[in-house]
Structure 1
């Protein structure tokens, strides 16, 4: 049974973190994390480079952010982005969070820029480091993530919009009150209306970091991207695809909304396991990772600034 650990933090999310960091989920030991010094702190990240890598060719880079109380290895298992990267020939980096809202709280991303680790600076320096080490396509740097990682990918679209070409937040799209993108940012997002952690609608018992409902955050990105048209398509019996088009600088928005899904990653092989831990149903027929990557491929960085009102 889900219970609260203080306002807005559920046992379910803690169980998720403990579950996903279990070594039983990995057929082989995960690779050691790489280290990077940022503002006097040692930051860590998991790196995957496809076997096809050739320094004479540029490769897209996907930043893949784990959720609260989780780990890069867990996010790799949940999303299977490294398997996809080997097939599609792109580099994946999965950073590790350090921030804690409370001293004894779980690690998460410092999305609201509170006192503590500067995660935007971390990612800025991480990208710069990887550019020196690998042949990375300047216009094809993307960010995705789950839950707290989705919030972090949203933050990067605000603060590093001149670098991040497009984002794919899953179960946690945000538009922070201090968000000031320099352009429209193409966005693909997924959320279930039965999400019991990051509520679809803002509720009295929503987490303290959850300042607005999903539709409000989505609407803010639609406004930022100056999208002029919207269509709705029934993807399946329980999933509706809402698309916003005619946006400035081709900054299109795709939003997959499930009436039944909980706090899960659509298409994840861990669907039944997560359901057993109280996080709800997964849309197994909705391949989020593949859809995110196909969306990213169609949306390289376009430096045309957003139109002024």
Structure 2
């Protein structure tokens, strides 16, 4: 393993341990069998839910080496879901690139491994058998490896996923071929030492392009025209918005000059910095911004 890879594994392992130590109780995960493999997820149901009422759903994917309960603490999407009346599903990864590496998502669709796109299809079908989900308001977000997984779903499940919100890991897979423009809101820091803002010689194998290159893929696919609108939202954060896009396929990017590999606005900002993942921009609440973007972008 390369020095960068070893550092990545160490940082994420320390972070995951720090977060799980704060979890008072881990809820029982739901499960189904997909291609002979048990797959699990955490579900949050808002107290206002009424059977028969179409209700939005947000998929919230954890990062590499993490787990659903830790992602719930990082993003705090469940607290917002209680206020805004939507489901949150936090799937559990079960893919290992190589023996001994940390668990992550099969974003590159490696054969003879777990099929995470199929898993999501069957998960949503299972949830739909028990709850009334609004089919025009199914969204996906996630952190790091979970951000890459959300990017993959925008490519492969564009007829199901209304919009995506990758945090610290937006991708545009080389084989991406969505059936429609998919709205994207994303966040990334230029000081990210895990998923580098610009591709570097020591970037990990899965990180084959920089953030701006990935965004260019979505801007082109969504047929966005004209120059983006730029807005300074803080001393170090710029909001870059492409809104003249086909079928309301807006692309919005919060670019931070000093943020590391973190979730903007997370209550875990101090923990992230202590384990070496860098500064968190606490002035921009990523979770709320993602949900506001999702609400404006139902499936077309």
Q: Kindly state the Cα deviation for residue 14 of structure 1 after the two structures are TM-superposed.
A: 2.6
Deviations 1:119-139 (A, max 9, x none): 000000001111111010010
What's the counterpart of residue 299 of structure 1? 297
Q: Which of 85, 91, 96 lines up with 2:81 in the alignment?
A: 85
State the alpha-carbon separation in 1 of the partners of residues 44 and 28 from structure 2: 11
3-state SS of paired residue (1:123): helix
State the alpha-carbon separation in 2 of the partners of residues 5 and 142 from structure 1: 31
What's the counterpart of residue 207 of structure 2? 210
What's the counterpart of residue 275 of structure 1? 273
Q: Kindly state the Cα deviation for residue 10 of structure 1 after the two structures are TM-superposed.
A: 4.5
Is contact 1:193–1:259 with CA below 8 Å preserved after alignment?
yes
3-state SS of paired residue (2:155): helix
Cα-Cα RMSD? 1.1
Q: Which of 157, 165, 173 lines up with 1:176 in the alignment?
A: 173
What TM-score, normalized to structure 2?
A: 0.97
What TM-score, normalized to structure 1?
A: 0.94
Q: Which of 189, 193, 198 lines up with 1:196 in the alignment?
A: 193
What's the counterpart of residue 305 of structure 1? none
The residue correspondences of 1:29-48 to structure 2 (distance < 5 A) are 29-48=25-44
Is contact 2:62–2:71 with CA below 8 Å preserved after alignment?
yes
State the alpha-carbon separation in 1 of the partners of residues 130 and 222 from structure 2: 33
Q: Which of 165, 188, 206 lines up with 2:162 in the alignment?
A: 165
Q: Kindly state the Cα deviation for residue 9 of structure 1 after the two structures are TM-superposed.
A: 3.6
Is contact 2:4–2:202 with CA below 8 Å preserved after alignment?
no
What's the counterpart of residue 124 of structure 2? 127
What's the counterpart of residue 231 of structure 1? 229
State the alpha-carbon separation in 1 of the partners of residues 131 and 147 from structure 2: 25
2:7 matches 1:11: no
State the alpha-carbon separation in 1 of the partners of residues 222 and 4 from structure 2: 37
Runs of 4+ in 1 over 6 A off after TM superposition: none
What's the counterpart of residue 247 of structure 1? 245
